[in-house]
């Protein structure tokens, strides 16, 4: 793992944006995985600005989301599809055929997962996956205890997120809400991984991810085993290292 620490969240955002833009400049047909959340929201804004500033050609790149909320409409503001569309695809004019997402609703999630990973492979496989980090160490929706050998699957949310989405969407208790996600093995197959974490609320899990044992109790600890994984931290997230 390589670790870069930045004095502020804003300087991290700019560095992450430049790194993404450089990846596309180097490989114009790159397949790039993105994550949603507070951490990546401002990175995505900086990325769109960087693409415009640098006039990087994005006409051949494919973006995909590494995970999706299930049991809601994909037009719901908290669905990963809607977030990535609003934050990246619409501002950059990326058409649907170069924006791949797992579905929010499906009769057969296992089949949808297989089709999704097959399509990523068909396009050359992920050149880079940009990850956020859950406070419990989750990557995508791979919660603690997920086998490192997992491939794309229909998982669960963590309780705080499920409660918030249930509240915001008025989803009754009887209806299942979950998360469909690339598995840890799929994530590790990306040629390059970048994980960003900001703020003191991430400091403890950042320390475990980097300096703790590689254990399925901390899904992100598996990143220690990837040969090209870069971790971007602001000063607060790095404060326990």
Q: Which residues bind ligand GLP (CB under 6 A)?
A: 35-39, 67, 132-134, 140-141, 161
Q: Give min distance, CB of 186 to ligand GLP, in A.
A: 13
Q: Using DSSP bridges, classify how beta strands 178-181 and 153-155 pair: parallel, antiparallel or unpaired.
A: antiparallel
Q: Give min distance, CB of 68 to ligand GLP, in A.
A: 8
Q: Give min distance, CB of 241 to ligand GLP, in A.
A: 18
Query: Based on CB atoms, which residue is closest to ligand GLP, 116 or 141?
Result: 141
Q: For residues 112 and 177, what is the distance between their CA atoms, to the nearest angstrom? A: 17
The CA-atom distances, in angstroms, between 71 and each of 41, 49, 171, 174 are 23, 33, 9, 11
Query: Based on CB atoms, which residue is closest to ligand GLP, 46 or 56?
Result: 46
Q: Give min distance, CB of 155 to ligand GLP, in A.
A: 10
Q: Which residues contact 70 (CB under 8 A, 6 or more apart)?
A: 103, 104, 105, 106, 109, 154, 176, 177, 178, 179, 180
Contact (CB, 8 A) for 158 and 194? no
Q: Give min distance, CB of 35 to ligand GLP, in A.
A: 4
- What are the beta bridge partners of residue 99? 63
Query: Based on CB atoms, which residue is closest to ligand GLP, 42 or 62?
Result: 42
Query: Based on CB atoms, which residue is closest to ligand GLP, 14 or 198?
Result: 198
Contact (CB, 8 A) for 69 and 175? no
Query: Based on CB atoms, which residue is closest to ligand GLP, 56 or 66?
Result: 66
Q: Give min distance, CB of 57 to ligand GLP, in A.
A: 27
Tokens of 38: 């507070």
Query: Based on CB atoms, which residue is closest to ligand GLP, 35 or 56?
Result: 35
Query: Based on CB atoms, which residue is closest to ligand GLP, 67 or 186?
Result: 67
Q: For residues 96 and 170, what is the distance between their CA atoms, to the nearest angstrom? A: 28
Q: Give min distance, CB of 8 to ligand GLP, in A.
A: 16
For the chain, the first-to-last Cα distance in angstroms comes to 14
């Amino acid at each position: 793992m390589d670790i870069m620490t930045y004095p502020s969240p804003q300087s991290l955002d700019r560095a992450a944006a430049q790194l993404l833009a450089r990846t596309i400049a180097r490989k114009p047909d790159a397949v790039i995985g993105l994550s949603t959340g507070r951490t990546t929201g401002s990175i995505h804004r900086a990325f769109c600005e960087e693409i415009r500033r640098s006039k990087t050609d994005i006409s051949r790149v494919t973006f995909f989301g590494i995970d999706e909320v299930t049991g809601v409409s994909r037009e719901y503001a908290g669905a990963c599809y809607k977030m990535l569309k609003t934050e990246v695809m619409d501002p950059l004019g990326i058409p649907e055929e170069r924006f791949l997402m797992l579905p929010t609703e499906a009769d057969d999630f296992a089949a949808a997962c297989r089709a999704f990973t097959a399509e990523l492979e068909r396009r050359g496989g992920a050149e880079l996956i940009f990850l956020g980090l859950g406070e419990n160490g989750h990557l995508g929706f791979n919660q603690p205890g997920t086998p490192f050998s997992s491939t794309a699957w229909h998982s669960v949310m963590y309780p705080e997120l499920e409660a918030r989405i249930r509240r915001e969407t008025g989803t009754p208790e009887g209806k299942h809400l979950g998360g469909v996600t690339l598995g840890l093995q799929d994530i590790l197959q990306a040629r390059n991984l970048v994980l960003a974490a900001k703020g003191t609320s991430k400091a403890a899990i950042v320390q475990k991810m980097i300096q703790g044992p590689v254990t399925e109790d901390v899904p992100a600890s598996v990143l220690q085993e990837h040969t090209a994984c870069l971790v971007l931290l602001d000063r607060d997230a790095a404060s326990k290292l």
